[in-house]
Structure 1
């Protein structure tokens, strides 16, 4: 009797254990659970982050493009006191930011973009070729620095826009419009010359 009771108890324990495992396997686990966040591969060692190269090549055009990365060690950042209203804090904190770099020496900008930057942003470039951007948008130094970098990034992207190639149909339409404009200009010129000649003849009479 005792042996039978022991076997029954062991059978019941194994049944409960199997049911618990089935229940745990069917329970929903979130994507941010500890088992998902810390996988076995991550437990083996630290995760190594891959740093992409600053230079990016466009696969479609095979042209070097600006990646958007501005290396802070290759630009000069200066600070000064902001102007305008702001109370006594304006006279104490250097929140205005100046970012300066030489366009020709900036190896993080593609060479073919540099002439376009000089042309489009001539009012921000000194005689020595230094590109200067300022910001006093906020009273926080770090926010103004981020604003300067965002301005530089936007200007470089604007200069990096490649002109779209025209299709043969578009070229034909443009040539047709140019011919029509030239003919109209010639006809207007003839009309004016005839008008002047008629006026001069009327004066002589």
Structure 2
């Protein structure tokens, strides 16, 4: 049973909302790879969690993408390292970062603005100047 995961100083995910399972990791590793369960699957029961708000849960499920299940769980798999402990720490840190990102409120919608009259006039003057330069590139008429 994993210990609680501290997200911020005010938010902690209790241990009963987390489930860790150790599995064999794929990839290179020689004879040891089939014997040792060093990869970690960390499950966070987000739908039932009381640690984060419902808005944050919605953002978390959207951010999790394929790592989110239909039951409202977030599944983090870690097999980057050779030891169970480092993979466990890696999975917990990745979950922590994901929850921190979900806790950030979305930015307010952009307010539409109009360019100032001076900016419009400068833009049109510059366009006319570029047009005049391009018109001067043509053949010379000797009449």
TM-score interval, smaller chain:
0.5 to 0.7
- Structure with higher Rg: it is 1
How many residue pairs get aligned? The number is 109
Q: Which structure features the higher share of helix residues?
A: 1
Q: How far off its partner does 1:164 sit?
A: 4.8
> 1:152 aligns to what?
95
Verify: 1:104 aligned to 2:42, yes or no. no
Gaps of 5+ in 1: 1-51, 57-66, 178-205
> 2:131 aligns to what?
none
Q: How far off its partner does 1:162 sit?
A: 2.2
Relative contact order (C-alpha < 8 Å, sep 6+): which is higher?
2
Computed over aligned residues only, the root mean square deviation of the Cα atoms, in angstroms, reads 2.4
For residues 164 and 122 of structure 1, do their structure 2 counterparts lie closer, same or farther at Cα, with a shift above 3 Å needed?
A: closer
Per-residue CA distance 1:80-122 (angstroms, 9 max, x = gap): 1111111111111100100112211111223320011112223
2: CA distance, partners of 1:122 / 1:164:
20
TM-score, scaled relative to structure 2: 0.66
> 1:125 aligns to what?
68
Verify: 1:82 aligned to 2:25, yes or no. yes
1: CA distance, partners of 2:102 / 2:94:
12
Q: Which aligned runs of 4 or more in structure 1 are off by greater than 3 angstroms?
A: 163-166
